[in-house]
Structure 1
Amino acid sequence: MSTEPTAAAHATVTWTRDGAEHTALWHSANGAKAPRTVVAVDDALTADDAYRLAAQGTAMLWTGDYHNARQLLSALARRLPDGTRKHKHRGETVAEAFYRYRQSRSQRARVLGLLLVPLEAGPAVALRRAPDIAGAWLAAAGPVTGPAVVPLQDVLGAIGAWEWRRNGLFVEALDAVIYPHYGTFAPIRSEYLDLVAQAGLPSRELAFDIGTGTGVLAAILARRGVARVIATDSEPRAIACAAENLELLGLAGRVEPLLADMFPAGRAPLIVCNPPWLPGTPHTLLDNAVYDPKSRMLKAFLNGLADHLEPGGEGWLVISDLAELLGLRSRDELLDWIEAAGLVIRDRLDTPAKHPRSMDRNDPFFDARSRETTSLWKLGAARTQAF
């Protein structure tokens, strides 16, 4: 199985430089659409002029020094609201304030995404003093076979993700290092990992891990003695990431990564799912691990669980109450969904938030984050399923 994604060339972009028209393929690691208007710029462009161009929706293709491009991007970022204003508008609910915050962050990302850089086969950034990005870009977006144009933000994101992948992340619940791939959420929060590592197992025969990501929960179950784990995900890059981590952990013979939308075929005595915790529309690859449009994955897990559990089996829903504290979903809604799916609650294990944002008083939603609780809901079928 290839561990690298396919290149995402969506269209072409055209600009004029020195009186000549140029065209190149458009690449975006995040799948962004090609800009309609592109102008060539260089080191003479000021941050104020760049801001005015971006405000008009004009993309800027940088032709100067790479490090100056990074400095300009930082200068642009300082001129844009970051959505961290702590006070709400008059009469605004917490949910409305959070929606406004997300809109502000999305607009900020769109504007910063208008500063572009050229790529050439290699792949390499075709600018003075550019770093070697070959490994990082191949892992993020695949090969570049000719002239291309990409957002500088994507290049920086690919470089950062490549560092995570090379250095790895120590997971205390595994007492081992795992290696997140680009676009696969790094399990930096220990609360939900500890819950899965400590909850009493209903069986050590077979488990399904739904939405495996890096494979970390599947690995924890295997390390706890579950003889066989089937780990599913709908994203090929997640399956590749999980397969690599499980191989490095020596668990490839016990955990099977499977490209699938939700459940594999058959039934299991234990089914675990850690869906995105917040209802909302994802804007980036990493957002897919945080935001669940209209709670689709959460509802799909609940609605399909009874049909995939063995008699007496347990489904572990690992989720926080942050959506409830932000007013995006109520506890009654969650309970109603559980009941409507033909499920009963057998137990619930709770743990308070320990992550840095729960202690950051400068966070605009500190009040909610500081009260956040992560829970492992043990669910069972309300009635025995007929075979």
Structure 2
Amino acid sequence: MNAPPVVEWTEADRPRSARWRSENGSPPPRRIVIADDRTRADDAYKLACEGTALLWRGDFHNARQLLTAMARRIDRRPRKALPADVTQAFHRHRAAQNHRARILGMLLVPLDASYGVPLHRAPDVREACTRAYGPAQPAPAEAADPAEQSAPAATLVSLRELLALVGANEWRKKGVEIPALGGDRIHPHYGVFSPARGEYVDLVAQAPLPSQELAFDIGTGTGVLASVLARRGVRRVVATDQDPRALACARENTERLGVADQVEVVEADLFPAGRAPLVVCNPPWVPAKPTSPVEHAVYDPGNRMLYGFLDGLADHLTPAGEGWLILSDLAEHLGLRPHAELLDAFADAGLTVLGRLDITPRHPRARDTSDPLHVARAAEVTSLWRLGTTD
């Protein structure tokens, strides 16, 4: 395992250093200045725009207020009108989101060796950090020779990321109610996509099963689709993923839902070994570059997972078996993947369409006319494609 990056700064005329942690892959800041309750929002915003990070040493609640004030300064800046071309508008919108995240990510807070926040009125974030980062590492022993000293025990993180960890931990404890599971809840881990948009789960709950013997759930995430299939009477489900967080999340959820005896969660890049009469996959829906771990469930660069599933499906179906592809057409409305390209991919993989179930989104964005991408979202349809082999 690679050693974490170390950031350095000067404080009270003394050189200081700490580990740097960023779950979205942001590089360590090149310059850090100290900020506290006396720091003005205008000054903080200006420094952040210039690429200077602010290490907070004041009251934790005041740090949250400063973050909110910085966000207001970003949002009230005059915005350029989005291009009429919907694809260009999508990319411009994503760029604006990334710019906003970069600026707000410049407000930093310290964590001690046990994930405590050594600031006045700071909440206890140790559980949230442990669940996201893993167990805290013990403080390294100091070597006699400074050149041989290991990385410092203290860690710096973006306040925005820390608040996201806390929020995700609350969602993990509360869970997401799934009507297709009779109202039982799925508990998403940090970095694992939450099934808050339940319409695609409803499709899997409604489609006619070709068999109840065996099913593969490719890219299981929280394990929600594998659990739905098990509750529908599929006697054995093999659920795959390559993300350690997703694997742990799926195992925890299947245990909690009482279907662990039916669902085997295995690490694999797409398919497990063998063939099944039913192979299900809900790949990321939009072919664009993710900028954080959780976005890997939404954005699929180059349609890698989608086309990997289609290209390998025929080799993992039993005769007369079905592959269920759950996919939104949002990418088509954004001009990122033509409908004909998807149909060509089916044909190139030796697949034929046996049927299709459609459902319209129920999430608030589909009705939010202030959303820059409202026209595309309002036209979106999520489909379950029932695919068979042409042989």
Q: Partners of 1:311 and 1:279 in 2: how far apart?
A: 31
How far the C-alpha of 1:31 sits from its partner, in A, is 3.2
Aligned to 2:370: 362
CA distances 1:279-328 after superposition (whole Å, capped 9, x unpaired): 10000111111100111100100001011111110000000111101111
1:205 alignment partner, one of 206, 210, 213: 213
How far the C-alpha of 1:127 sits from its partner, in A, is 0.9
Q: Partners of 2:14 and 2:135 in 1: how far apart?
A: 27
Q: Is the 8 A contact 2:323 2:386 kept in 1?
A: yes
Aligned to 1:3: none
Q: Partners of 1:150 and 1:156 in 2: how far apart?
A: 10
TM normalised by structure 2 equals 0.93
CA distances 1:325-348 after superposition (whole Å, capped 9, x unpaired): 111111001111111111111111
1:17 alignment partner, one of 1, 11, 32: 11
Q: Is the 8 A contact 1:82 1:104 kept in 2?
A: no
1:129 alignment partner, one of 118, 121, 139: 121
- The answer to whether 1:348 aligns with 2:356 is yes
- The answer to whether 1:160 aligns with 2:160 is no
Aligned to 2:111: 119
- The answer to whether 1:255 aligns with 2:263 is yes
Q: Is the 8 A contact 1:10 1:34 kept in 2?
A: no
3-state secondary structure, aligned to 2:382:
strand
Aligned to 1:245: 253
Counterparts of 1:220-235 in structure 2, within 5 Å, are: 220-235=228-243
Aligned to 2:56: 62
Q: Partners of 2:14 and 2:82 in 1: how far apart?
A: 50
Range that drifts further, 193-202 or 21-30: 21-30
Q: Partners of 1:178 and 1:349 in 2: how far apart?
A: 24
User: In structure 1, what residue type is equivalent to 2:244?
Assistant: P
User: In structure 2, what residue type is equivalent to 1:277?
Assistant: W
- The answer to whether 1:27 aligns with 2:21 is yes
Aligned to 1:139: 131
3-state secondary structure, aligned to 2:369:
coil
Q: Is the 8 A contact 1:180 1:214 kept in 2?
A: yes
Aligned to 1:38: 32
How far the C-alpha of 1:81 sits from its partner, in A, is 4.1
How far the C-alpha of 1:174 sits from its partner, in A, is 0.4
User: In structure 2, what residue type is equivalent to 1:149?
Assistant: L
How far the C-alpha of 1:353 sits from its partner, in A, is 1.7
Aligned to 2:98: 106
Q: Is the 8 A contact 1:9 1:28 kept in 2?
A: no
How far the C-alpha of 1:113 sits from its partner, in A, is 0.8
3-state secondary structure, aligned to 1:28:
coil
> Using a 3 Å threshold, how does the CA distance of structure 1 residues 25 and 120 change in structure 2: closer, same or farther?
same
List gaps (5 residues or longer) in structure 1.
1-5
Aligned to 1:170: 177
- The answer to whether 1:151 aligns with 2:149 is no
How far the C-alpha of 1:107 sits from its partner, in A, is 1.1
Q: Partners of 1:376 and 1:73 in 2: how far apart?
A: 41
CA distances 1:61-115 after superposition (whole Å, capped 9, x unpaired): 11111111111111111111499969533xx410100000001101111111111
User: In structure 1, what residue type is equivalent to 2:91?
Assistant: Y
CA distances 1:116-158 after superposition (whole Å, capped 9, x unpaired): 0010022111111100001000011123332111111111011
Q: Is the 8 A contact 1:191 1:351 kept in 2?
A: yes
Overall identity of the aligned pairs, in %: 56
Q: Partners of 1:17 and 1:38 in 2: how far apart?
A: 9
User: In structure 2, what residue type is equivalent to 1:24?
Assistant: A
Q: Partners of 1:84 and 1:358 in 2: how far apart?
A: 25
1:284 alignment partner, one of 292, 310, 328: 292
Q: Partners of 1:51 and 1:362 in 2: how far apart?
A: 25
Q: Is the 8 A contact 1:85 1:364 kept in 2?
A: no
Aligned to 1:371: 379
TM normalised by structure 1 equals 0.94
Q: Partners of 2:383 and 2:15 in 1: how far apart?
A: 57
Q: Partners of 1:83 and 1:253 in 2: how far apart?
A: 55
> Using a 3 Å threshold, how does the CA distance of structure 1 residues 183 and 27 change in structure 2: closer, same or farther?
same
Q: Partners of 1:123 and 1:159 in 2: how far apart?
A: 12
1:97 alignment partner, one of 70, 81, 89: 89
1:215 alignment partner, one of 193, 201, 223: 223
How far the C-alpha of 1:208 sits from its partner, in A, is 0.3
How far the C-alpha of 1:17 sits from its partner, in A, is 1.0
Q: Partners of 2:25 and 2:127 in 1: how far apart?
A: 19
Q: Partners of 1:83 and 1:272 in 2: how far apart?
A: 45
3-state secondary structure, aligned to 2:177:
strand
Q: Is the 8 A contact 1:342 1:381 kept in 2?
A: yes
2:321 alignment partner, one of 301, 313, 328: 313
Q: Partners of 2:135 and 2:248 in 1: how far apart?
A: 17
3-state secondary structure, aligned to 1:125:
coil
User: In structure 2, what residue type is equivalent to 1:183?
Assistant: G
List gaps (5 residues or longer) in structure 2.
138-152
Q: Partners of 1:82 and 1:48 in 2: how far apart?
A: 13
Q: Is the 8 A contact 1:9 1:25 kept in 2?
A: no
